[in-house]
Amino acid sequence: MIAKLKELVQSAFAAMELRDDLYKSLKNSITLSRKGNYSFCYTAPVLIVVANK
């Protein structure tokens, strides 16, 4: 499940527009995702996901 979530997040970041007005961390996430090197969970055995609309 974590691997699938990681894949979905990386895909979503890779599809985002890279603009100058974005936070540096978001720019880095987009850039790494486009290279296929983005990981938000590292080696965490469990994730707690909080989401809103």
Predicted local confidence at residue 14, as pLDDT: 96
Q: Quote the pTM value.
A: 0.78
CA–CA distance, 27 with 22 (Å, rounded to integer) = 6
The secondary structure of the chain as a DSSP string is -HHHHHHHHHHHHHTS---TTS-HHHHHHHHHHHHT---SSTT-S--------
Residue 3 binned pLDDT confidence (cut-offs 50, 70, 90): confident
Predicted local confidence at residue 17, as pLDDT: 97
What is the per-residue pLDDT across 7-49, written as a single tens digit (0 to 9) for each?
Answer: 999 999 999 999 999 999 999 999 999 999 998 888 888 888 8
